[in-house]
């Protein structure tokens, strides 16, 4: 595992900018702007995946088990909650600026929880690759 690369420092901030930018673009209430931001998010995410695969030689597909999987679920639920709250506050109550704040929150969530996901996944892989402990010795009465 030590010879496998760690996620580059730029990865999570870039993903956070993509997610945050998508949410912030909703502030314009312009469908063309939002769809353009959605396209940038999709293409940018694909470029990130491709870049990571080239650097690391691997990619985690789907939510892994254990702590890393729980962190990825928390991240997705938090992003949904932030987007939903922004929609209620802006579109429902007319409080402008909430999509921009949601974009900032999304950026922070992706960076912080993305790095925690990496650390948890790395720990899980190291545990799985560790040699199994020898079974305890048994003695027979003479």
Cβ neighbour number for residue 97 with a 10 Å cutoff: 11
- Number of domains composing the chain: 1
Cα 36 to the center of its chain, rounded Å: 22
Structural domain contains residue 104: yes
pLDDT by position in tens, the chain (length 142): 455 557 889 999 999 999 999 999 999 999 999 999 999 999 999 999 999 888 877 777 666 788 989 999 999 999 999 999 999 999 999 999 999 999 999 999 999 999 999 999 888 888 876 665 555 555 555 5
Cβ neighbour number for residue 48 with a 10 Å cutoff: 17
pTM of the entire structure? 0.83
Structure tokens at 94: 């007319």
Structural domain contains residue 33: yes
Structural domain contains residue 140: no
CA-based nearest residue to 112, from 43, 5, 19, 3: 19
Structural domain contains residue 25: yes
């Amino acid at each position: 595992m030590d010879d496998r690369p760690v996620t580059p420092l730029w990865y999570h901030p870039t993903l956070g900018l993509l997610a945050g930018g998508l949410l912030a673009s909703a502030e314009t209430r312009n469908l063309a702007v939002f769809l353009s931001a959605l396209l940038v998010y999709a293409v940018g995410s694909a470029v990130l995946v491709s870049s990571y695969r080239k650097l690391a030689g691997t990619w985690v597909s789907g939510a892994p088990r254990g702590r890393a999987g729980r962190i990825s679920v928390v991240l997705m639920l938090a992003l949904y909650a932030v987007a939903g709250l922004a929609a209620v506050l802006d579109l429902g109550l007319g409080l402008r600026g909430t999509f921009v704040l949601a974009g900032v929150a999304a950026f922070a969530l992706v960076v912080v929880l993305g790095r925690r996901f990496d650390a948890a996944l790395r720990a899980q892989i190291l545990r799985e690759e560790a040699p199994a402990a020898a079974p305890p010795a048994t003695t027979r009465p003479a």
